[in-house]
């Protein structure tokens, strides 16, 4: 048996008045997903424990069956692994966003208007020239997503993810120390945020963006700090080899620790304009070499963060027509049976523009398993599914029939 997990990041939502009281999953025209649902068994999955933040790093590790209380060390260390940054045991790695702060001092968005990778690299290199030293360094990533590493930094700091606080005064949500041990690190990070405001506001890249009517990348923002985690590979845990396909370093970082083969697809943007067809083809090709493919599609999550319900519906319809249709049709012709699962990692409700702890809807298609009575895939319909509510490693063990 082979396995494909199609991870539609943040696709679950709350009912939206603009969509006549429906969620984007309910409003979208997704005939291929619904047809597969009618041949599957469904349920809800609690991906993020209530005592942990509902971040993608925690949720995706949970989907893959990891005990997140044991292995979670923040988002930065996962992205470091993806970028090939070798961390020492006392290196504190954290995510560093380029963000947009408006004239009133509020966080306008977490992505600097989805700045291009080329533009952001120029800005991050500029920050390194002016702010880094032998104890701290910026590493350029993709679009607005970057990495910052502090030698012997303290993880006793409280950092707010910028996508959790759109519209908030940035000074109210800056880094705070949890105890005296974290004071020096918190002071350093806040000092860098303020210095970045001065440096970036006058940079030519931002002047061009403003002239073009785009948001400026006028500050850095640090969050999700941690140290190098101790994770077993997926094969050690579940006896299966794997590959991962995504557009973001975080997911490749999880894959690196899980021992998955990274598959990069040209044109993968993490947005609604990503290369859906290329990702579907890459997943099918990878399935010939490994047991399980983790196909991560970011677009619906970004639409949720933007609060754009219409765009979220569009991303789901693209997923249906340009990914799921191809995978379902072609796996039917393979010599070896293929099990297909579809789910998000967490909800990203358009109303809130951030992640929540709510359980997510999932479906699992096994060729030889009798389906349940659920005919459409959405947040409400799956509550009548065979699996009920699963937690912890329940999803991956169910998928692998362990």
Best CA proximity match to 96, nearest among 140, 42, 156: 140
66 located within any domain: yes
Same domain, 343 and 248: yes
Contact criterion met (CB below 8 Å) for 380 and 37: no
Same domain, 24 and 92: no
DSSP 305: H
DSSP 323: I
Same domain, 288 and 344: yes
Condensed to tens digits (0 to 9), the pLDDT of residues 296-334 reads: 999 999 999 999 999 999 999 999 999 999 999 999 888
Provide the Cα torsion 320, 37, 306, 279; round to 10°.
Answer: -40
Residue 248 tokens read as: 């973001």
Looking at the 3D structure of the chain, how many domains does it have? Answer: 2
Condensed to tens digits (0 to 9), the pLDDT of residues 156-188 reads: 999 999 998 999 999 999 999 999 999 999 999
DSSP 193: H
| Cα-Cα end-to-end distance for the chain | 13
Q: Which domain holds residue 222?
A: 82-226
Give the pLDDT of residue 249. Answer: 84
Same domain, 379 and 236: yes
Same domain, 246 and 387: yes
The CA distance from 315 to 276, in Å, is 10
Contact criterion met (CB below 8 Å) for 127 and 220: yes
- Tell me, what CATH number does 394's domain have? 3.40.720.10
Same domain, 13 and 150: no
Phi, psi of 353 (to 5 degrees): 65, 25
Angle at 364 between CA 293 and CA 275, to 5 degrees: 45
Tell how far CA 388 is from the center of its chain: 25
User: What's the predicted TM-score (pTM) here?
Assistant: 0.83
Condensed to tens digits (0 to 9), the pLDDT of residues 268-296 reads: 988 899 999 999 999 999 999 999 999 99
The CA distance from 142 to 69, in Å, is 28
């Amino acid at each position: 048996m082979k396995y494909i997990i199609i991870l539609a990041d943040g696709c679950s939502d709350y009912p939206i008045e603009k969509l006549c009281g429906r969620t984007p999953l309910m409003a979208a025209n997704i005939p291929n997903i619904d047809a597969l649902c009618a041949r599957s068994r469904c349920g809800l999955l609690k991906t993020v424990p209530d005592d942990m933040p509902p971040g993608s790093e925690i949720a995706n590790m949970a989907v893959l069956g990891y005990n997140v209380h044991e292995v979670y060390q923040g988002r930065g260390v996962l992205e470091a692994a993806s970028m090939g940054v070798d961390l020492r045991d006392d290196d504190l790695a954290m995510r560093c966003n380029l963000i947009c702060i408006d004239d009133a001092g509020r966080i306008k968005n977490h992505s600097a208007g989805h700045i291009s990778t080329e533009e952001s690299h120029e800005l991050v290199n500029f920050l390194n020239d002016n702010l880094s030293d032998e104890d701290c360094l910026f590493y350029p990533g993709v679009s607005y997503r970057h990495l910052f590493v502090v030698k012997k930094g303290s993880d006793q700091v409280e950092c707010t993810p910028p996508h959790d606080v759109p519209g908030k005064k940035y000074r109210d949500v800056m880094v705070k120390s949890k105890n005296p041990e974290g004071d020096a690190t918190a002071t350093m990070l806040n000092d860098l945020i303020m210095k970045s405001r001065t440096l970036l506001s006058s940079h030519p890249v931002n002047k061009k963006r403003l002239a073009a009517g785009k948001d400026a990348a006028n500050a850095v923002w640090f969050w999700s700090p941690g140290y190098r985690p101790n994770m077993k590979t997926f094969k050690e845990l579940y006896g299966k080899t794997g590959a991962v396909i995504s557009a973001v370093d975080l997911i490749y970082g999880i894959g690196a620790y899980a021992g998955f083969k990274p598959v990069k697809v040209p044109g993968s943007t993490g947005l609604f304009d990503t290369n859906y067809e290329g990702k579907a083809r890459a997943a099918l090709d990878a399935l010939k070499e490994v047991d399980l493919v983790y196909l991560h599609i970011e677009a619906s999550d970004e639409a949720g963060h933007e609060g754009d319900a219409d765009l979220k519906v569009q991303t789901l319809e693209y997923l249906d027509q340009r990914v799921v249709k191809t995978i379902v049709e072609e796996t039917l012709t393979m010599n070896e049976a293929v099990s297909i699962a579809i789910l998000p990692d967490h909800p990203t409700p358009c109303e809130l523009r951030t992640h929540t702890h709510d359980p997510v809807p999932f479906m699992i298609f096994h060729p030889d398993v009798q389906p349940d009575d659920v005919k459409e895939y959405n947040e409400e319909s799956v509550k009548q599914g065979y699996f009920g509510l699963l937690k912890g490693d329940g999803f991956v063990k169910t998928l692998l029939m362990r």
